[in-house]
Amino acid sequence: MSTTHQPSDVFLKSDASSAFWGMFSLAFVILFVFALASSVLGVQWRSILPGAENAKGVVGGVKAAVYTFMSYIF
């Protein structure tokens, strides 16, 4: 049997994907600015952000924190 997709189904998946990446990008920018400011001030930001405890770099730590944050939302 072949399955057919309704145009509305494709639109909903595309819309949900763009909403996810929009929220991911916004959260990444906010947490990245926080991590950079904390690094400049000498604050241990990795212990504050969930999921970033074992990260080696700023970008990896922020990315881990954003994925942890997004898992609570979705």
* pLDDT, position 15: 67
Biggest distance spanned by C-alpha atoms of the chain: 61
* pLDDT, position 4: 59
The percent of residues above 70 in pLDDT, for the chain, comes to 78
pTM above threshold 0.85 = no
Tokens coding 25: 């990008």
| pLDDT category of residue 69 using cuts at 50, 70 and 90 | confident
* pLDDT, position 18: 84
* Closest to 39 measured CA to CA, from 24, 49, 50: 49
Average pLDDT, the chain: 81
* pLDDT, position 7: 54
User: How many CA within 13 A on the CB side of residue 59?
Assistant: 0
Task: Decide if pLDDT at 62 tops 80.
Answer: yes
Q: Please report, for the chain, the start and end positions of each structural domain, with discontinuous segments joined by +.
A: 25-73
DSSP collapsed to 3 states, 1-67: CCCCCCHHHHHHHHHHHHHHHHHHHHHHHHHHHHHHHHHHHCCCHHHCCCCCCCCCCHHHHHHHHHH
